[in-house]
């Protein structure tokens, strides 16, 4: 038994700055990197693409963010999976976004067509996803796929997050990496 997927949610045009994070794998919100916590405070919308692993992190994000959208991942325990959807679709202005944690996709490269099957009833402009810990932006079939990478630093792999800014119907997307 998992939480139901959320049907199309529409935000007003006051959402200008979106923070996208994934794969934070932390037990406590206090363990989340300070730069990510700073971005959570200033973003208009915070999106977590799964593998949160604790309610403390979920609650910390929700308490500090203006708006949140969170999906569960394969590392999330059953109590989180029961309360958080596996995918979400939302719209800002004329852009339609899908959020998912494609744990069935394995390591990179992922099969983008399999991800699109999860959203076949929608005409998406963007797919925001986690799981692979591989930060990148790629266009496929006219849809922009964005993985913000992992939300923690590990050995030589940097922590990363994605910022999406919408200004007057124009979008800019950046991946920000913070070295360990």
pLDDT, one tens digit per residue, over 46-97 is: 999 999 999 999 999 999 999 999 999 999 999 999 999 999 999 988 899 9
Nearest-angstrom CA–CA distance, 49 and 72: 7
- Whether the CB-CB separation of 131 and 111 falls below 8 Å is answered with no
Contact between residue 9 and residue 90 where contact means Cβ atoms under 8 Å apart: yes
Assigned architecture for domain 6-178: 4-Layer Sandwich (3.60)
Task: Measure Cα distances from 162 to 4, 36, 106, 120, 168 in Å.
Answer: 26, 10, 21, 25, 20
- Model confidence, pTM: 0.92
Can you give the residue ranges of every domain in the chain?
Answer: 6-178
Candidate from 10-14, 116-120, 156-160, 176-180 with smallest mean pLDDT: 10-14
């Amino acid at each position: 038994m998992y939480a139901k997927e959320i049907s199309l949610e529409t935000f007003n045009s006051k959402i200008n700055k979106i923070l996208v994070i994934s794969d934070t794998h932390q037990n406590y919100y206090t363990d989340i990197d300070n730069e990510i916590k700073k971005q959570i405070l200033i973003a208009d919308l915070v999106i977590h693409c799964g593998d949160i692993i604790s309610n403390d992190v979920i609650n910390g994000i929700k308490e500090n963010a203006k708006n949140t959208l969170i999906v569960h991942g394969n590392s999330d325990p059953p109590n989180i999976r029961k309360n958080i959807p596996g995918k979400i679709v939302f719209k800002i202005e004329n852009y339609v976004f899908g959020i998912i944690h494609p744990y069935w996709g394995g390591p990179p490269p992922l099969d983008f067509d399999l991800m699109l099957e999860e959203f076949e009833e929608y005409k998406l402009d963007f797919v925001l996803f986690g799981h692979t810990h591989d930060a990148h932006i790629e266009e496929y079939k006219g849809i922009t796929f964005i993985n913000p990478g992992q939300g923690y630093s590990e050995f030589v792999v940097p922590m990363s997050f994605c910022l999406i800014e919408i200004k007057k119907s124009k979008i800019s997307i950046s991946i920000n990496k913070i070295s360990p």
